Amino acid sequence: MTGDGDPLVVHAPGDREIVLSRLFDAPAPLVFAAFTRPELLVRWYGARGWRLVECEVDLRVGGRWRFVSQGPGGERMGQSGCTGGSTRPGDWSSPNSSTTSPIRARP
């Protein structure tokens, strides 16, 4: 976690980009698995009251990911993008997508 008590850091490097960063007190392989394995993503991903009802992740170069979340009133929201092609923690990101989620391990 960050030292100031707020685990989330928000940064806007440009007028069309927002970067959200959070440190996890967990081994990098476990955090990587939580962000890339559908059976783990469905256990935690999404806003409070929402649940992940569809989840596909292909980490190969040019692979795609797709999430569909369902809200408490039955409304659905989709997210999708292309993966950067990594199967190890520390260098994965999803460029050219509606959401980019880089995972970087501490040195």
Q: Tell me the CATH number at 42.
A: 3.30.530.20
Counting the structural domains of the chain, the total is 1
As a whole number of angstroms, the distance between CA 94 and CA 83 comes to 4
Asked if residue 89 lies in contact with residue 32, where contact means CB atoms within 8 angstroms, the answer is: yes
Which pLDDT does position 89 carry in this prediction?
63
Query: Which residue stretches of the chain have pLDDT < 70?
Result: 1-6, 85-107
pTM above 0.75, yes or no: no
Compute φ and ψ for 61, nearest 5 degrees.
Answer: -55, 130
Range of the domain at 49: 26-82
∠ Cα 83 88 89 (to 5°): 95
Domain-located, residue 20: no
Which runs of consecutive H residues, i.e. helices, occur in the chain? 28-36, 38-44
Q: Look up tokens 């007028």; give the residue.
A: 15
Nearest CA to 91 out of 77, 105, 73 is that of 105
Residue 91 domain-assigned? no
Q: Residue 96: its pLDDT value, please?
A: 42
Give CA–CA dist 101/59, Å, rounded: 13
36: its two tokens: 């890339």
Sign of CA dihedral 92, 106, 9, 68: positive
Whether 92 is covered by a domain: the verdict is no
* In a domain? residue 19: no
